[in-house]
Chains A and B, each alone.
Chain A
Amino acid sequence: MNFLAASIESLGAKVVGWFTVGYGMFAFLVQATLLLLERATWNRATFDVVIKQVYFTAVQILHVFLGYVLVISWLIITIILSTARDFGLTEFASEMTIRVLVLELLPFLTALFIALRSGSAINTEVALMQVNSELDALAHCKVPPMQFEFLPRLIGGVISSVTLAGLAGLLALLLGYLAIYGTTAAGFEPYTQTIAKIFDFRIVAGLVIKCALFGLAVTLIPVTAGLETPKKLFMVPVSVLRGMMRVFFAIVAIEVVSLALKYI
């Protein structure tokens, strides 16, 4: 009997914990959104920090990222094309390539890429700021940490995620064309037809929203996880670990929900 009560209690504690974390993130997001609407937020300093964030999240790694997209896309396109040839389904190959790569795989990989590179860095930095009382110092000086530190990171994450996924998608479209039709202009008409068939307004809007949500998830969750860190240095790795776990679940959840909305 005691065992049962204990397990129910631990389950309840877990659920409450999840709700607290979820509510914390939600409240943070609402606060950030409200600040976005304020004119005072849009000063030169915030803008400079946003630019810095975009630079570190997107521009600095652009060549590495595009190289990686090139390899992945080429591999996947080749696999799809050869499989389609084997089964006599070549007419569906280009559509399949675009759907798999541009709409699903590349945004997902982009989100993982940003999460691993920038998300973990943000989480560590915020956790260290919290542990070192730098945030207290900012509060003492009445410098709002939200506008100065966090909001630019969120904006930078969203911008980087959308642009990187977009660039990767365009690269994959180009590669797909080259793989199917070679370096002739002959396939332009049918390829255009396929693209027109896939990218209707709903799909494009869904893709942009999905990438923006990915960008938000890989920055918002590390920031809130970092802020939760107790003021003990040894808790920083634990905070990063928790934050990255949550980021991973959030990315998968966004992908699953988007797939469900699209195909069910």
Chain B
Amino acid sequence: MNKLHFKVGLFTAASLLLAGAFVVYLLHARGFFEKTYHLQLAAASADGVAPGVPIVFSGIEIGRVTTLGLNDSGGIVIRTEFLERNAKWLKETSTFTLDKPLVGGAKIRVDSPDLNAPALPDNSTMLLLTSDISKEIPALVERVKAILANVEYLTRKDGEINATLANFKTLSGRMTGEHGMLEGILGSPEKARAVTDSLDKTRALMARLDSLAAKSDQWLFAKEGVAEQTRESLVQMRQMLSDAQASLKKADTLMANAVEISADVKEGTQDLAALRTEIDDAVRKANALVNEINKKWPFARDPEVKLP
């Protein structure tokens, strides 16, 4: 037996075997042995969508956009392709959202809230929703403005808080009890607790606004983080957040002062109750806003790296 020939033969056979296995694996990976599954998405605008844009489900790519086209009525039709093994995630209740994050490429997100729902048939057409962060920012700015106005209204010079405090100054007498003088003012422990609760909420909100402002700062000054106009609205929003925080701080001080004022309680009760309702309202709105901002902005993502 020729040893040289044997070695070369072994090498060739092993290489061919590996190459063959890899080709089969590649064909499997690219779905050569599977049926492809098609889906059309109807959208109002094809802005940001191009062939090759991935379709992700729970963060994992399951398909791609193949072509873009117009239908007879001028609407956009986006044709997409899935491998059969991935098509099981598409249900009749699934929603398709175009995600255009400020950083990174566009992608179409699939949400299937009910995995037991009937499967989406091949070649069906679904609606593509748009969740474009850069378009939503102006709306968010409007809402921040409204809240700011509300807070300002509460804390303006001749506003209700000041009036209430003026009232307090005429009151006298310090009460004792679990909730200090507020119990005296409001007449019952429950009412007093309500006021202190709203005070706590205000303080918690301030802390959150503070951290949000810090985050947006960090994001704003990151290089090439956002587009120019988006950046401007963000700067604006950042200022508003600071303003809102300042106003709330003022309200907080006033409330704290109110607690310290020793006065006759009876007349103040009504004003204080109204004030509490309004502060509560502002706090609730601001809280919801902060939640929303946190949810939608890219910097609110979990910064830790997770391996898939």
Contacts and interface: CB of A to CB of B under 8 A. Distances in A.
A touches B in complex, CB < 8 A = yes
Interface of A: 51-52, 54-55, 58-59, 62, 85, 88, 90-91, 163, 166-167, 170, 180-181, 187, 190, 192-193, 195-197, 199-200, 204
B4 A190 contact: no
Contact of B29 (A85, A88, A196): A196
Nearest to A200: B30
Given A181-B307, A187-B308, A199-B26, 13 more contacts: A51-B4, A51-B8, A52-B4, A58-B11, A90-B306, A163-B12, A166-B15, A166-B18, A166-B19, A166-B22, A190-B60, A192-B29, A195-B26
Nearest to A87: B305
Interface in B24-70: 25-26, 28-31, 60-61
A187 B19 CA distance: 22
9 contacts: A51-B4, A54-B12, A59-B7, A88-B303, A90-B308, A167-B18, A195-B26, A196-B30, A197-B61
Contact of A54 (B11, B18, B306, B307): B11
A180 B61 CA distance: 18
A164 B306 CA distance: 35
Contacts of B5: 51
B7 A195 contact: no
Given A88-B303, A196-B30, A62 B11 contact: yes
4 interchain residue pairs of minimum CB distance: A196-B29, A163-B15, A192-B29, A59-B11
A193 B7 contact: no
Given A180-B307, A193-B61, A55 B7 contact: yes
Interface in B1-18: 4-5, 7-8, 11-12, 15, 18
Nearest to B304: A88
Contacts of B7: 55, 59
Interface residues of B, number: 23
Contacts of B18: 166-167, 170
- Chain A interface, DSSP helix/strand/loop, else mixed: helix
Contacts of A195: 25-26, 29
A55 B4 CA distance: 7
Given A163-B15, A166-B18, A196 B31 contact: yes
Contacts of B30: 196, 199-200
A166 B11 CA distance: 13
Nearest to A56: B4
Contacts of A181: 307
Contacts of B4: 51-52, 55
A35 to B, nearest CB: 22
B308 A170 contact: no
Interface string B264-308: 000000000000000000000000000000000000000101111
Contacts of A200: 30
Contacts of A85: 305
B8 A193 contact: no
Given A58-B11, A88-B303, A190 B29 contact: no
B308 A91 contact: yes
Contacts of B31: 196
Contacts of A88: 303, 305
Between B8, B30, B60, the greatest number of chain A beta carbons within 10 A of the residue's beta carbon is seen for B8
Contacts of A91: 308
B110 to A, nearest CB: 15
A58 B26 CA distance: 25
Nearest to B83: A196
Contacts of B61: 193, 197
B26 A167 contact: no
Interface in B157-175: none
A170 B22 contact: yes
A180 B305 CA distance: 13
Contacts of A204: 26
B11 A190 contact: no
Nearest to B303: A88
Contacts of B8: 51, 54-55, 59
Nearest to B16: A163
A238 to B, nearest CB: 33
Contacts of B15: 163, 166-167
A254 B30 CA distance: 28
Given A51-B5, A166-B19, A170-B18, A193 B29 contact: yes
Contacts of A54: 8, 11-12
Given A170-B18, A196-B30, A90 B11 contact: no
Nearest to B10: A59
A193 B4 CA distance: 40
A205 to B, nearest CB: 12
A160 to B, nearest CB: 10
B114 to A, nearest CB: 23
